[in-house]
Amino acid sequence: MLHVTNGDSAGGELERAGLPGTVLAWRDVLPEGPVPANLDAAALRAARARYLAGMGWAAYDDALADFAARDAALAGAATADEVVLWFEHDLHDQVQLIQILDALGDPHTLPPRLTAIVIGAHPEVIPFHGLGQLTAAQLAALFPGRARVTQDQLALARTAWAAFRSPDPTTIEALLAGDTAALPFLRGALVRHLEDFPAVANGLARTERQILEAVAATSSRPADLFRACTAREERPFMGDTSFFARVGDLAADHGPLLETKSGAPFGVPANWSDPDQRADFHAQTLALTTLGAEVLASRADWAQLHPTDRWHGGVHLTGPDPAWRWDAATQRLVRTRA
């Protein structure tokens, strides 16, 4: 039996739960960085490893080796008596889930028995953010309720994974216009993905806007800011490492929207295990710059002021006039150029 889950936190508790089989942690933050459609599995592993290394989140060789071992373990699932997928309701997990279901939907890798435990709440954990909050005993108690993965779920996952990787994000809108009931948490997750395209009004992604709004409400220290922004998410999905990378981009020295009260550059620890670096990081206090207030009030456009070069799933957003923006009023994407 193979258990596949969203990362090391839930994976560690699953290993302590006393369930039969082995645990495979799916270590990737797919909502961040490139997931282009024109790459085969090996090239996609390399692209993801390069991105993680470029962000300073992993060494390239280590990430690539981990992805290769992970994919090999999943490819061997056809020989397992059962594969159990353990995921939750947020964007991070739902994209991992559709990637895995897409891979397992191949007749050559489909295990004899494929089951899933995908939850959006737990009666003993309120507010529920994810499987990482659950104890080994709580996870073990969920195991008997696992459900067989259906052909409808496999088909929807394959379509959704292709849409997420497409260079044309309207393929996601087309998917959402149809029936997504087979994967009940997918719709909310993909809408949240679309909300992080630059906004029509001011060029801010939803995540960026929430950061600025939280800082505007009260000058914030990093931990307070992370908690405030997490509380605003219907389904929190972003870990602190990804979150503080976004904060750092808003505070970088290219016409920043955020600044520290001390005037020193906003710094993220090079080594999170160093207690002095952690203490210095958490002692910082952030405030809006004058430009930050202008952008937040939609009197200036962040995308034009800060020409972007970033991937959003399969979409490469570039330049001062990104091709796609999100209109919060209509809840639709707007194409601004060919």
Instruction: Identify whether 114 is part of a domain.
Output: yes
State residue 296's pLDDT score.
98
State residue 156's pLDDT score.
98
Answer yes or no: do 221 and 323 share one domain: yes
List, in sequence order, every residue forming a beta bridge with 312; answer none if it has no partner: 33, 315
Answer yes or no: do 85 and 32 share one domain: yes
Element containing residue 41 per DSSP (H, E): helix 41-54
Q: What's the CA gap between 312 and 163, in Å, rounded?
A: 12
Answer yes or no: do 211 and 259 share one domain: yes
Output the domain CATH number for residue 27.
3.40.50
Answer yes or no: do 9 and 118 share one domain: yes
**Domain boundary pick from 152, 168, 184:** 168
Query: How many domains does the chain divide into?
Result: 2
State residue 107's pLDDT score.
82
Output the domain CATH number for residue 268.
1.10.10.10
State residue 106's pLDDT score.
85
**Domain boundary pick from 143, 168, 193:** 168
- Mean pLDDT rounded to a whole number for the chain: 95
Q: pLDDT exceeding 90 applies to what percent of the chain?
A: 90
**Domain boundary pick from 116, 149, 168:** 168
Confidence of residue 273 (pLDDT cuts 50, 70, 90): confident
* Structural domain boundaries enclosing 158: 2-168
Q: Closest by alpha carbon to 157, among 109, 102, 88, 107?
A: 102
Q: What is the mean pLDDT of residues 275-286?
A: 93
Q: What is the mean pLDDT of residues 24-48?
A: 97
Answer yes or no: do 227 and 103 share one domain: no
User: H helices within 55-195, ranges in order?
Assistant: 60-75, 91-104, 136-142, 151-165, 170-176, 186-194
Instruction: Identify whether 184 is part of a domain.
Output: no
State residue 254's pLDDT score.
78
Answer yes or no: do 252 and 126 share one domain: no
